[in-house]
Amino acid sequence: RGRVWLDPNEASEISNANSRKSIRKLVKDGYIIRKPENVSSRARWRATKEAKAMGRHKGVGRREGSRESRMPSKELWMRRLRVLRRLLRKYRAEKKIDRHLYRALYQKAKGNVFRNKHNLMEHIHKMKNEKRREKQLAEQLNAKKTKEEACRNKARKQELKRRRKEAAEAQTAAVAAKKAQVAAKKAPAAKAAKRR
């Protein structure tokens, strides 16, 4: 009602229209226009929203309901946990963490260990660095063990060689002593035979 505009310059032509077809032609030509519906302006609402985003109109006098009812702690917990679990899934898919570390961190996230996403990322980097350091230390220890084992084997071989040499020398010395003893026994017998 009251939303039809008739062109005052074309009043005679509009008055001559006596069928639906002719009215449709006048609408098409733009002599009769349907005006848009009047709607409440959203400008004031937008301005208020911007002000609220800056923290206005949210004082103690404006609040109805307790802090828990306005922003439930459960809702905050669910948001935080979903963020952490999403990050863990992403890291596991990208092979940044293995499934064992994923499971350990998942349980820790459930146990309220991490305050936020940044805290979890720091923890992951720390754990990975520790793991890397442990691996390096293990490799160094293995290298040291291998080196020490090689040194021990070398020393053992040298000791065996020395002992064999000493044993051979002792044996030759014993043989020489035995020969000398035999010779010493034979010498007095030979002298006695000469005297006779």
Q: What are phi and psi of 32, to 5 degrees?
A: -120, 125
Residues 40-72: tens digit of each pLDDT: 999 999 999 999 999 999 999 999 999 999 999
pLDDT in the model for residue 2: 85
**Which residues make beta-bridge pairs with 5?**
33
Percent of the chain with pLDDT over 90: 88
Length of the chain: 196
Average pLDDT over the chain reads 94
Burial of 90 per CB tally in 10 Å (0-12, 13-18, 19+): exposed
Report how far residue 91's alpha carbon sits from residue 121's, in angstroms, rounded to the nearest whole number.
10
Res. 39: pLDDT tops 70: yes
Tell me the whole-structure pTM to 2 decimals.
0.57
**Which residues make beta-bridge pairs with 19?**
none
For residue 134, give both structure tokens: 């442990």
Banded pLDDT at 191 (limits 50, 70, 90): confident
pLDDT in the model for residue 196: 66
